[in-house]
């Protein structure tokens, strides 16, 4: 899994819709497994969670048409786009807030396209220490999965194993009043219909 792109897609409270997907990268240093611990670095005081449908590319994709896009998908899993909001917001580019070491759980497994024939109608939820935080459905995506593959593959070639994180719904810690950011010993649980549950503990690092 060499490439992770995340696009702001799902509806945010008060956020304006975008005419063009926003793309940025995550690197391998951020990736962790479904039972690994999320590191809370002392570089941030505002660590946040984001439940996202993760699309795993299964075939080399270049200049793909929307109507053919699902043919290039190996399957779907869950991603937690852990974000250091203070680092993310201090420059126009979000990379430093999105790629801290050991902060992006993926899993717990890949569900094939034969099991999910419509990625645009899946319940998506998050919890922190059992408290419901996010609850939505992928039908609320501003840009659907097929469009994203068309859009991205017309900019760059996608390779098998690449992952697209498709965006997060309202309910993130930053948007709460007052904000509720992640602390050491917090347990973050993500659920997506037909995929299952991704659960990771936060530790100080």
Q: Is 80 exceeded by the pLDDT of residue 5?
A: no
Q: Which of 53-67, 82-96, 180-194 has the lowest mean pLDDT?
A: 82-96
Residue 180, pLDDT score: 97
| Neighbour tally for 24: CB within 10 Å | 16
Contact status, residue 145 vs residue 54, Cβ threshold 8 Å: no
Is residue 22 over pLDDT 90? no
Whole-structure pTM value: 0.92
Note the pLDDT tens digit of each residue in 114-162: 999 999 999 999 999 999 999 999 998 888 999 999 999 999 999 999 9
In angstroms, the CA 40 to CA 151 distance is 33
pLDDT band of residue 87 (cuts 50, 70, 90) is very high
Q: Which residues contact 130 (CB under 8 A, 6 or more apart)?
A: 187, 189
Query: Cα–chain-centroid distance for residue 163?
Result: 9
Give the DSSP letter of residue 44: -
- What pLDDT sits at residue 120? 95
CA atoms 42, 43, 47, 51: torsion sign: negative
Summarised one tens digit per residue, pLDDT across range 171-201 is 999 999 999 999 999 999 999 999 999 999 9
Q: Report the pLDDT value the prediction gives residue 146, as an integer from 0 to 100.
A: 95
Cβ atoms within 10 Å, residue 91: 10
The per-residue pLDDT for 11 is: 42
What is the structure's pLDDT at 93?
86
């Amino acid at each position: 899994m060499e490439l992770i792109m995340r696009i702001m897609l799902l509806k945010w409270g008060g956020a304006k819709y975008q005419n063009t997907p926003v793309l940025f990268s995550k690197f391998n240093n951020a990736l962790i497994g479904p039972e690994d611990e999320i590191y809370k670095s002392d570089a941030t005081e505002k660590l946040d969670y984001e439940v996202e449908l993760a699309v795993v590319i299964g075939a080399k994709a270049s200049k793909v048409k929307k109507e053919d896009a699902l043919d290039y998908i190996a399957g779907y899993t869950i991603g937690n786009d852990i974000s250091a909001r203070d680092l993310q917001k201090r420059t126009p580019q979000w990379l430093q807030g999105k790629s801290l070491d050991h902060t992006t759980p993926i899993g717990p497994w890949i569900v094939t396209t034969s099991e999910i024939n419509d990625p645009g109608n899946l319940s998506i939820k998050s919890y922190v220490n059992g408290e419901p935080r996010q609850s939505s459905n992928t039908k609320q995506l501003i840009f659907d999965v097929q469009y994203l593959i068309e859009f991205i593959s017309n900019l760059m070639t996608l390779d098998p194993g690449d992952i697209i994180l498709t965006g997060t719904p309202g309910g993130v810690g930053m948007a709460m009043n007052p904000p509720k950011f992640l602390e050491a010993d917090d347990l973050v649980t993500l659920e997506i219909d037909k995929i299952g549950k991704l659960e990771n503990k936060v530790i100080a690092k």
